Amino acid sequence: MALLLAALLAGDVVVFAAASLKESFEELGALFEKEHPSAKVRLDLGGSQELRTQLDHGASADLFASADEVQMDSLARHTLVLAPAVFARNELVVIVPGNAPPLALDDLPRARRIVLGDKAVPVGAYSDRMLAKRGAAFRRSVEAQVVSRELNVRQVLAKVALGEADAAIVYRTDAIAGGTRVRATRIAAADNVFAVYPIAQLKAAPQPGLAADFLRLVLSPRGRATLSRHGFLPP
């Protein structure tokens, strides 16, 4: 409670954001703070489903940016958010450790240890839909090699970057954030499933004015340019 009160007095904007938005929202936060010297942007990053659950249970935030529409729609049904808007899209890629040869989607079943997002996590749900497009047999052959399912996409990325897995499916933006620690192979658009990212102000936002300003920045041409630099696709 003391931390929340301090944030309110300081004019902090609390943004609950999908883990895959880390670098882009940090950059947008720095830009926002430059234009609002008395304000600070506080990012709470995690799996979209975890953040939505916290908001359902009364967590205080000004904005919610999700990696899928499922979590946002849940909050909208409970009238906890105002006018969600899609601000970006993302695509899935196959990654391997940086010192390993690249692996195409067709060759994914050959990987000995595969990591996916949990089925309740947007990246896991998108991955399952993408694998299903290739047919039940292909999906089963991949799932037979899955050694863990993680609660957010950055945990999936970390397993491969640390050499604890031989392959994984993550968003293109996370592969970019992984740098030389991972190697990514793109998936053809016809085989892929594209992630949709909505953002909305919370109805009970402690800082509604600042929240609206940050929302406008994300949706602005400058916001889209920032997201594009980090690998996001336009909405």
Q: Which CATH superfamily is domain 90-186 in?
A: Periplasmic binding protein-like II (3.40.190.10)
Nearby residues of 57 by Cβ (< 8 Å), 6 or more positions away? none
Using alpha carbons only, how large is the chain's radius of gyration in Å?
Answer: 18
Q: What Å distances lie between residue 208 and 12, 15, 64, 76, 191, CA to CA? A: 11, 12, 13, 17, 41
Cβ atoms 67, 123 nearer than 8 A? yes
Residues 156, 129: Cα–Cα separation, whole Å: 17
The answer to whether the beta carbons of residues 24 and 177 sit under 8 Å apart is: no
Question: One fold for both 2-89+196-229 and 90-186?
Answer: yes
Q: Where are the domains of the chain?
A: 2-89+196-229, 90-186
Rounded-to-integer distance, Cα 156 and Cα 151, Å: 8
**Residue 54: pLDDT band by 50, 70, 90 thresholds?**
very high
Quick: pLDDT tens for 140-194: 999 999 999 999 999 999 999 999 999 999 999 999 999 999 999 999 999 999 9
**CATH T-level assignment (fold) for domain 2-89+196-229:** D-Maltodextrin-Binding Protein; domain 2 (3.40.190)
Could you tell me whether strands 114-117 and 167-171 are parallel, antiparallel, or unpaired per DSSP bridges? parallel
**Is pLDDT of 71 > 60?**
yes
* pLDDT tens-digit map of 8-40: 445 899 999 999 999 999 999 999 999 999 999
- Beta strand pairing call for 182-186 and 114-117: unpaired
- How much of the chain exceeds pLDDT 70, in percent? 96
Tell me the per-residue pLDDT of 94-136, one tens digit each, with 9 for 90 and over: 999 999 999 999 999 999 999 999 999 999 999 999 999 999 9
